């Protein structure tokens, strides 16, 4: 993970042993004294913002290049052999990115961001796990936006509500944390990752709620912590994050003599640089913190996405894939918990809407022999009346309601279909209280029927499940406990056996699951894919004992296609069928809990299985 330019040297010096280091103060070069903001560059050079503009100096203090501009809010990130700098043009408040070629000593303007639609008080950079550069813009009234840049693209990711009167912000890339300094109150920490609902936590507050005098001023990211000046700019506070708590060292007195809100703070090797009335001063840093990092996980870009739901909030839930004789005409069925059943083509365009009520989970089976007929069926759980709904799918991929059967359950929830080797089709339906019912679906003439075969129960709330038809096994998820397996054959029940508990690989809630097996492959092959909703990842493991975990992945941005990643996924489905193009090895369809780029109603993302197989080195 790349760090801020100013942090890079400190990370090397202070993060290796986790022990406190003490260094003597270093003189701040005289040519920096008029700078309002500054950044130390690789190789010892400097990037300054002063009344002349953005200025680049080498380590010897020789000015190499400048951009004449009135600007503020400078932040930097290393970018391969160069440095990315972004600042706000003072007059228009337009964010201007610049590529700093340290070796050549050149400043190169990049494509600007759009002019903000609100008055910007603070801005800062963030580099995510995909190594994409993001920019946070925070307004005086608390309006805020997160943008992402790649090449010439400048795309709005999401809008946020952040504290008013925030004059400073910085992002800790390794911790994926946005730190915001609210001038009259204190410092807050937010999730820098755009996917998910996010959370807020207190870092430091003004007196009498905390130790800050007059609120919070400038801040700088430290390994595993943050340095912050109080609102009066007469004390420096160092705070480390230990577990889920922020711990403060004793405050250090400083003499900056600046008006409230005009302090500046930066990190330079083993020193903190503080700007006061008489310019910059360096203070030796004593720090024992270690940089936070996130577990390594593969990130895969989606190929396409469906049109958003017609309902806001928690609407989209579970997809199912229907295959056509012409692969390009395959259909994706998706439930809308506030509306009904939707049907999409492979480009994500909606082709059908069946407004049949609050459907939760859906599954599909094809070429089902029912008496003398062969049919393709979709079955879904209906939460308005706790029924099981049947739909037929014709050769053109057109879905039609075909039946509705009461279950007697009080809070119907998840479901999955099972197609026994002996023929026919069966449905597993579950309730939030842990009850499972197994039904046999029948057809006489044009009338479908549902016959209860058995019931069983798990200890806590389930939802996702999938049947392995080839091995007559049922996999089911207990949301807070893990994935279990049992016999799918109602005539040969067996005890539940744990496949994968919540823990190192799987974070509650356990949600959707599906089985990938190549057409014609042996029954002892294939993978089970499970939605690990708590960390917005997906676990791939062997679908046979001992259920070896093959890896985890997340779904990230596809900026050229304008598609965001996925988070807090409920349902998913997968096929190994060759659907052409990127989907030659099959397709994974994933519900996205938070639509970004920009914000919008929930939808489903399409992922090429070949990308999953490559990332996890699967057979």
Burial bucket for residue 62 (CB in 10 Å: 0-12, 13-18, 19+)? exposed
pLDDT of residue 260: 67
DSSP states of 365-429:
EEEEEETTEEEEEEEEEETTTTEEEEEEE-TT--EEEEEEEE---SSEEEEEEE--TTSSEEEEE
Q: Which helix (H) or strand (E) holds 9?
A: helix 5-14
Residue 26 pLDDT > 80 = no
Average of per-residue pLDDT across 596-611: 97
Q: Which helix (H) or strand (E) holds 336?
A: strand 331-336
pTM to 2 decimal places: 0.92
Residue 17 pLDDT > 80 = no
Find out whether 318 and 302 touch, Cβ atoms under 8 Å.
no
Burial bucket for residue 46 (CB in 10 Å: 0-12, 13-18, 19+)? buried
Backbone torsions φ then ψ of 12, nearest 5 degrees: -65, -35
pLDDT digits (tens, 9 = 90+) for 443-483: 998 999 999 999 999 999 999 999 999 999 999 999 999 99
b/e map of 463-490 (b: 16 or more CB within 10 Å)? Answer: bbbbbbbbbbbbbbbbbebbbbbbebbb
Find out whether 514 and 574 touch, Cβ atoms under 8 Å.
yes
pLDDT of residue 79: 79
Q: How far apart are CA 411 and CA 430, in angstroms?
A: 9
Residue 585 pLDDT > 90 = yes
pLDDT digits (tens, 9 = 90+) for 72-108: 999 999 877 799 999 999 999 999 999 999 999 999 9
Backbone torsions φ then ψ of 610, nearest 5 degrees: -60, -35
Q: How many CB atoms lie within 10 A of CB 361?
A: 27
Secondary structure string (H, E, C) spanning 126-166: EECCCCCEEEEEEECCCEEEEEEEECCEEEEEEEEECCCCE
Q: How far apart are CA 253 and CA 8, in angstroms?
A: 26
Largest CA distance in the chain: 92
Edge-to-edge order in the sheet of strand 435-444: 412-418, 425-431, 435-444, 447-457
Q: How many CB atoms lie within 10 A of CB 231?
A: 24
Task: Find, among 483, 469, 486, 234, the residue nearest to 364 by Cα.
Answer: 469
In the chain, the percentage of residues whose pLDDT exceeds 70 is 95
- Under DSSP, the state recorded for 488 is S
Q: How far apart are CA 488 and CA 418, in angstroms?
A: 7
pLDDT of residue 261: 65
pLDDT of residue 181: 96
All domains of the chain, ordered by start, with CATH?
5-21+32-284 (2.120.10.30), 298-616 (2.120.10.30)
16: confidence class by pLDDT, cuts 50, 70, 90: very low
Q: How far apart are CA 30 and CA 61, in angstroms?
A: 9
Residue 21 pLDDT > 90 = no
Task: Find, among 538, 550, 545, 544, the residue nearest to 588 by Cα.
Answer: 538
pLDDT of residue 270: 85
Residue 24 pLDDT > 60 = no
Cα–Cα distances (Å) from 580 to 326, 514, 585, in that order, read 10, 21, 8
Cα–Cα distances (Å) from 469 to 304, 453, 493, 543, 567, in that order, read 29, 17, 15, 12, 29
Find out whether 246 and 202 touch, Cβ atoms under 8 Å.
yes
pLDDT digits (tens, 9 = 90+) for 316-360: 999 999 999 999 999 999 999 999 999 999 999 999 999 999 999
In the chain, the percentage of residues whose pLDDT exceeds 90 is 88
Q: How far apart are CA 426 and CA 417, in angstroms?
A: 6
pLDDT of residue 100: 97
Q: Choose the weakest-confidence range: 18-22, 174-178, 396-400.
A: 18-22
Average pLDDT, rounded, for the chain: 93
pLDDT of residue 278: 84
């Amino acid at each position: 993970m790349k760090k801020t330019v100013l942090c890079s040297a400190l990370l090397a010096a202070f993060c290796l042993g986790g022990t406190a280091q003490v260094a003597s103060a270093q003189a701040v070069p005289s040519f920096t004294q008029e700078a309002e903001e500054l950044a130390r560059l690789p190789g010892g050079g400097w990037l300054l913002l002063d009344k002349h503009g953005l200025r680049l100096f080498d380590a010897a203090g020789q000015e190499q290049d400048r951009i004449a501009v009135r600007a503020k809010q400078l932040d930097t990130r290393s970018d391969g052999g160069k440095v990315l700098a972004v600042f706000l043009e003072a007059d228009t408040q337009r964010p201007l990115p610049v590529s700093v070629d340290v070796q050549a000593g050149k400043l190169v303007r990049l494509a600007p961001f759009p002019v903000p639609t609100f008055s910007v008080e603070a801005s800062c950079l963030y580099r995510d796990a995909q190594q994409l550069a993001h920019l946070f813009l925070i307004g005086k009234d608390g309006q805020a936006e997160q943008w992402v840049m790649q090449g010439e693209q400048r795309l709005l990711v999401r809008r946020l509500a952040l504290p008013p009167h925030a004059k400073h912000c910085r992002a800790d890339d390794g911790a994926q944390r946005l730190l915001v300094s609210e001038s009259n109150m204190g410092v807050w920490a937010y999730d820098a990752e755009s996917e998910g609902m996010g959370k807020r936590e207190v870092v430091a507050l003004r007196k009498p709620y905390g130790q800050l005098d007059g609120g919070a001023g400038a801040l700088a990211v430290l390994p595993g912590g943050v340095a912050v000046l109080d609102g009066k700019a007469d004390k420096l506070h160092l705070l480390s994050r230990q577990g889920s708590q922020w711990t403060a060292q004793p405050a250090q007195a400083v003499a900056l003599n600046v008006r409230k809100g005009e302090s500046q703070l930066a990190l330079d090797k083993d020193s903190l640089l503080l700007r006061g009335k008489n310019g910059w001063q360096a203070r030796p840093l004593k720090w024992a913190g270690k940089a936070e990092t996130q577990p390594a996980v593969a990130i895969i870009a989606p190929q396409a996405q469906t049109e958003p739901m017609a309902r806001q909030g928690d609407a989209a839930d579970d997809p199912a894939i229907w295959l056509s004789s012409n692969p390009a005409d395959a259909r994706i069925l998706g439930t809308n918990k506030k509306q009904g059943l939707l049907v999409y083509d492979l480009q994500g365009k909606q082709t059908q809407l069946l407004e049949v009520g609050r459907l939760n989970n859906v599954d599909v089976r094809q070429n089902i022999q029912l008496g003398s007929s062969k049919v393709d069926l979709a079955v879904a759980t209906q939460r308005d009346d706790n029924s099981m709904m049947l739909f037929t799918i014709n050769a053109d991929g057109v879905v039609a309601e075909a039946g509705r059967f009461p279950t007697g359950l009080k809070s119907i929830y998840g479901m999955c279909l099972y197609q026994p080797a002996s023929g026919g089709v069966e449905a597993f339906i579950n309730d939030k209280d842990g009850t499972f019912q197994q039904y046999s679906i029948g057809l006489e003439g044009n009338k479908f029927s549902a016959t209860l075969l058995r019931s069983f129960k798990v200890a806590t709330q389930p939802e996702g499940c999938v049947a392995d038809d080839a091995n007559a096994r049922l996999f089911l998820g207990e949301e807070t406990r893990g994935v279990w397996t049992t016999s799918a054959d109602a005539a040969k029940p067996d005890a539940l056996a744990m496949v994968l508990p919540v823990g190192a690989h799987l974070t509650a809630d356990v949600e959707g699951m599906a089985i990938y097996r190549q057409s014609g492959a042996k029954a002892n092959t294939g993978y089970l894919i499970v939605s690990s909703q708590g960390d917005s990842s997906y676990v791939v493991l062997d679908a046979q004992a001992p259920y070896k975990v093959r890896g985890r992945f997340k779904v990230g941005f596809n900026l050229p296609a304008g598609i965001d990643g996925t988070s807090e996924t409920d349902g998913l489905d997968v096929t190994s069928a060759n659907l052409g193009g990127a989907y030659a090895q099959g397709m994974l369809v994933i519900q996205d809990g938070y639509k970004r780029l920009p914000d919008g109603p929930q939808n489903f993302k399409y992922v090429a299985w070949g990308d999953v197989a490559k990332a996890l080195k699967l057979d």
